[in-house]
Structure 1
Amino acid sequence: MNNTPVLQITGLSGGYSLNKPVLHDVGLQVQPGEMVGLIGLNGAGKSTTMKHILGLMSPHKGDITVLGKTRAADPGAYHGALSFVPESPLLYEEMTVREHVEFTARSYGVERSDYESRSLQLAKLFRMEDKMDTLSSHLSKGMKQKVMIMCAFVARPALYVIDEPFLGLDPLGIRSLLDFMLELKNSGASILLSSHILSTIENYCDRFIVLHQGKVIAEGSLAEIAAASKRPGQSLEQLFYELVQGGE
């Protein structure tokens, strides 16, 4: 496996105010073919970290590279190498599901034949086949979330940044999403996944990064974090609770 990280964050400090940063010297990486869980309490800095990766916020200091490129040096290559699923769906009300997916595919330069086969696969996977020509304004919140997921996955970038994707999804939708992410990971894609549902992601992520008060307080596989915490055999949820309690 290629050991060059798909995502590399080094010494990242940043936030909404120069005088009061949210992130403090955050460092993390995601390797090719790896799914990494980014976990933390509300306000820990998870979404702020993702906004910096996406270029929605500028670091106070530190560096972020995707496939070895910074956003400043090569914005086209940088953004073309990643795809994002936000916590809250953001859609155009007067566009259909099909139009959203096709628009995204065109933006990423996906070949027509690939778009057609992928959109069919995704519509079937998320049980949206009968909704493809429905306006987004007529969809439930869960269906809107499925459209965001379909748009992210119709492209095949190196890195997927996924923020709380399970909110609004039914149990079958959650299972379909997890299985598809696993399939993408096994094909070589990299995934940075933020979720509060620790029991759900425990068996899917290769490693975990625990953010607390804007700092990385633990990272590694479940077994590595348990060993470092001297709590072997504990679940991710138990380890997380004890880590953040100790970090207060």
Structure 2
Amino acid sequence: MTLEVTHLTGGYSQVNTIKDLNFTVPSGSLTALIGLNGSGKTTTINHVIGLMTAKSGTISFDGLDSQKEAIQYQNSLAYIPELPVIYDDLTLREHIQTTISAYHLDAQKAEQEAERLLTIFRLSDKQDWFPIDFSKGMRQKVMIVTAFLADKPLLVIDEPFIGLDPLAVADLIELLQEKKAAGKTILMSTHVIEEAEQFVDDFLLIDQGKIRVQGKLKDIFKAFPKQKNINEIYFRLAKEVEHE
């Protein structure tokens, strides 16, 4: 099951934030979108999950067109946003139950998997808590748990490591590797670059709405031979924008 983005151009109102993007994410792999703030990473993700309509180009997953077969396409994906979206009136337990109901999951199997995920992220003893009691990191963990619980073949993640402590980051990385091994297709944006090298299969460096470089981290550095680390690459990109 492959995510295919072909000649994707889109953005807000009359401005094309992303321009002629072309990439694929095969099953059992993870592609990471990287780049400066405002480069087009989140806009790309918003098009992939269907929050925005492309001005031109296509997006498909396992042959399902995101526009022509929108319902089937949407049913194939789970999404973790950068900013957690949870319900203030529902306890953590009720968030789990709502996810099971919304995705029509097998209750017994889903509850077992939920307990496993809650244990991994040290939330098992907080199932009767309301979101008002959660820290930012805990809210992010709730989003991660519910998205993984849905167990969809396409997983789209926007900056998942923000707000997580180092232990939770390690837990998430292990789960991502687990999902890859299970054949899931994963698209993720991140600023955690050097740590991501251990589990990311392909990096897409987006600059001003275009793919500047695609490949392994070593390929990114080959394209910028004078820069020694990712921060220096970002500084160079920022200076290029200033001089245009």
Q: TM (normalized to structure 1)?
A: 0.90
Query: Which of 160, 163, 168 is the matching residue for 2:163?
Result: 168
Provide the rounded CA distance (Å) in 2 between the counterparts of 1:233 and 1:137. Answer: 44
Distance 1:232 1:222, change over 3 A: farther
Query: Which of 65, 70, 77 is the matching residue for 1:70?
Result: 65
Distance 1:190 1:225, change over 3 A: same
Contact 1:87–1:167 (CA<8 Å) still a contact in 2? yes
Amino acid at match of 2:89: E
Identity %: 37
Provide the rounded CA distance (Å) in 2 between the counterparts of 1:44 and 1:243. Answer: 10
Amino acid at match of 1:73: K
Specify every segment of 5 or more residues in structure 1 that has no aligned partner in the other structure, as ranges.
Answer: none
Where 2:205 maps in the other structure, the secondary structure is strand
Specify every segment of 5 or more residues in structure 2 that has no aligned partner in the other structure, as ranges.
Answer: none
Q: Map of 1:3-22 to 2, 5 A cutoff? A: 6-18=2-14, 20-22=15-17
How far apart are residue 16 of structure 1 and its match?
0.8
Where 1:192 maps in the other structure, the secondary structure is strand
Distance 1:31 1:72, change over 3 A: same
Q: Deviations over 1:103-133 (max 9, x none)?
A: 1222222111221111011000000011111
Provide the rounded CA distance (Å) in 1 between the counterparts of 2:175 and 2:214. Answer: 24
Compare 30-39 and 103-112 and name the one that shifted more: 103-112
Alignment partner of 1:183 is 2:171: no
Contact 2:32–2:204 (CA<8 Å) still a contact in 1? yes
Q: Map of 1:144-163 to 2, 5 A cutoff? A: 144-163=139-158
Alignment: residue pair count: 242
Amino acid at match of 1:179: E
Amino acid at match of 2:144: I
How far apart are residue 26 of structure 1 and its match?
1.0
Amino acid at match of 1:9: V
Q: Deviations over 1:12-32 (max 9, x none)?
A: 1111112x2101111111000
Alignment partner of 1:221 is 2:216: yes
Q: TM (normalized to structure 2)?
A: 0.92
Contact 1:212–1:244 (CA<8 Å) still a contact in 2? no
Alignment partner of 1:193 is 2:188: yes
Distance 1:178 1:241, change over 3 A: farther
